[in-house]
Amino acid sequence: MTNPTFFEALHWASIFLEQHQQEDAGRFLLLERQHWTTTQLLLHYREVIPLAVWQQFQADVRRFAANEPAQYIVGHAPFFGHEFKVTPATLIPRPETEELVEWVLNELPSHPLKILDLGTGSGAIAISLKLARPQWQVWASDISPAALAVAKINSQQLAAPLTFRKSDVYAQLAAEHFDAIVSNPPYIATSERNVMDTRVLAYEPATALFAAEAGLGLYRRILQGLPQQLQPDGQFFGEFGYRQRPALTRLVAQLLPAAQVAFRRDISGHQRMLQIKL
């Protein structure tokens, strides 16, 4: 096909991806590359697509057909009303994690606080909190220098100044105390690899996905350190797997028997978030 219209290009992508048994991501790829809204796309539907745009679109669709995530192809992902740079060094931020950010903002007071985003990845949680509460002092830590590099770029591009620290859980944060710690840590058991999306396994960083102890190894370390890292009356907010509430409940009772614990369901109805008050 040469010189198709934008409408015809999308039709080609739909057929091509269906033949490769993939979801139709053509519209997302085109909109993101063009920085268009859906309305703008409709206005250009019958126009001939420029050759350079057509060549880029074909390359993007073929990469998606080969299981590369669309967000990595275009280099960014939406989260909490902002666009974040993402690379294979960082997880792609999910809508469920937006609910965690919303919960934190609703539960914590708006006056100045010191907050830690533990395992920040792209910085999506930390930056979203800072933009919503400029008066908060927000720290962002990660064990991965490559992930921190991406988070720093996002921090600069979105004008959200953070304090960054390379740290394996609390190793380089021992002297710090926080009013709240927020985390979306690795929580997937390695035994679940065979039921996971091929796209995720092939491209997203395994160190940000998997944890020992049936997925709760990192949670054990996080919970053990909360009494030392949180201020009196401090809080922890975390995301976990939809089957993990019973095991996580037992773990909290074992490590923090005096803590108050609340769980919250995500938009799909799964219990995926917890709040701990010491």
3 is in an annotated binding site: no
Q: Are strands 271-277 and 230-239 parallel, antiparallel or unpaired?
A: antiparallel
Q: Binding residue per annotation — 234?
A: no
Share of the chain above pLDDT 90, in %: 89
Closest CA to 117 of 89, 147, 153, 88: 147
Residue 154 annotated as part of some ligand binding site: no
Q: Is 249 annotated as a binding residue?
A: no
**The pLDDT value given to residue 207:** 86
Confirm if 173 and 116 have CB atoms less than 8 A apart: yes
Cα-based distances in Å from 219 to 193, 195, 246, 249, 252: 19, 22, 14, 11, 9
Instruction: Write down the pLDDT at residue 1.
Output: 53
Q: Which two tokens stand for residue 200?
A: 């995720």
Q: What is the pLDDT of residues 163-211, one digit of tens each?
A: 999 999 999 999 999 999 999 999 998 888 877 888 888 888 988 898 9
pLDDT tens figures, 232-254 = 999 999 999 999 999 999 999 99
120 annotated ligand-binding residue: yes
Judge whether 26 is annotated as a binding position. no
| Residue 7 pLDDT exceeds 90 | yes
Residue 185 known to bind ligand: yes
pLDDT band for position 3 (50/70/90)?
Answer: confident
